Amino acid sequence: MAETKKKFKGLSRELMALRVANELEDGTYVNLGIGIPTLVSDWIEGRDIILQAELGMLNTGPLASQSEVEQDLINASCQPVTELPGSCYFSENESFAMIRGGYMDVAVLGALQVSEKGDLAGWQNPGRGLPEDIGNIGGSMDLAVGARKVIIAMMHITNDGEYKIVKQCSYPLTAQGVVDLIVTDLAVIEVTPKGLLLREVASGLTAEDVQSVTEPKLIISPDLTEIQF
């Protein structure tokens, strides 16, 4: 498990966020998780995409500047945000009713591990040493189960060089079989019934490079390209 993979130079977090943003369709409602997913918001200003903040807001605007900070107006990461025309507010309970009820077209989430079957593990790193049923579940399980499409935005391997795209998740699961697309610093991979389909690779990398840092066998798309922006 601690076998170290070769480190490839891939996309910055910002470009990963841009790649995800390009995957989003106009006219959709989208929830962005904590971490890299939050950066997606920087790339969709002016587009016809409505962001939900899980604490109870639709049409969340950009982060607030110092002078705009309103302590009663934050996002799920506890960052001060702004309103847009058409923003509205509701309770946490209504927010998750919306999420479970299937009203989020897309959830963009981070992950610790994703399996070839689309299982997602993202809320608990056993390395922290807490009991296995305790950790920051937050909104992740509801979003993973409720969103029509789940896109994972994460680094391809861990800082310690371990696989994050695995045959079977060893970390506590967030949900089973929910992931549709994985966007990493190295590749864009689609979860299909036949397995993981490698669609795009970062500039300068080959399919073999990506396979070398991916545990399950990848299906190479006949239309394999460089990551598109």
Q: State the nearest-atom distance from the C-beta of 75 to another protein, in Å.
A: 8
Q: Does 62 bind another protein (CB under 8 A)?
A: no
Task: Please select the residue that binds another protein; options are 3, 6, 85, 223, rule is CB under 8 A.
Answer: 85
Instruction: Report the 10 Å Cβ neighbour count for 101.
Output: 10
Binding pattern for the stretch 154-193 against another protein, x by CB under 8 A and - elsewhere: ------------------xxxxx-----------------
**Binding-residue total with another protein (CB under 8 A):** 69
Nearer to another protein among residue 31 and residue 184 (C-beta):
31
Residues with Cβ < 8 Å from 131, sequence gap 6 or more? none
Q: Does 139 bind another protein (CB under 8 A)?
A: yes
Task: Please select the residue that binds another protein; options are 23, 103, 155, 190, rule is CB under 8 A.
Answer: 103
Task: Please select the residue that binds another protein; options are 11, 24, 73, 182, rule is CB under 8 A.
Answer: 73
Q: Tell me if 173 sits within 8 A of 122, measured CB to CB.
A: no
Q: Does 145 bind another protein (CB under 8 A)?
A: yes
Of 139-147, 155-163, 181-189, 196-204, the window that binds another protein (rule: CB under 8 A) is 139-147
Q: If you write DSSP's letter for every residue of 102-145 in order, what string do you get? A: T--SEEEE--SEEETT--EE-S--GGG---TT-S--TTHHHHHH
Q: Find the binding residues for another protein in span 108-137 (CB under 8 A).
A: 125, 127-137
Residue for token pair 């056993």: 126
Residues with Cβ < 8 Å from 60, sequence gap 6 or more? 41, 51, 52, 53, 75, 81, 84, 87
Instruction: Report the 10 Å Cβ neighbour count for 80.
Output: 16
User: CA dihedral defined by 29, 192, 187, 120, rounded to 10 degrees?
Assistant: 70
Q: Does 34 bind another protein (CB under 8 A)?
A: yes
CA distance 16 to 186: 9
Q: Does 70 bind another protein (CB under 8 A)?
A: yes
Q: DSSP character for 208?
A: H
Q: Under the rule (CB under 8 A), what is the footprint of another protein?
A: 27, 29, 34, 48, 50, 52-59, 69-80, 83-94, 96-103, 125, 127-142, 145-146, 172-176
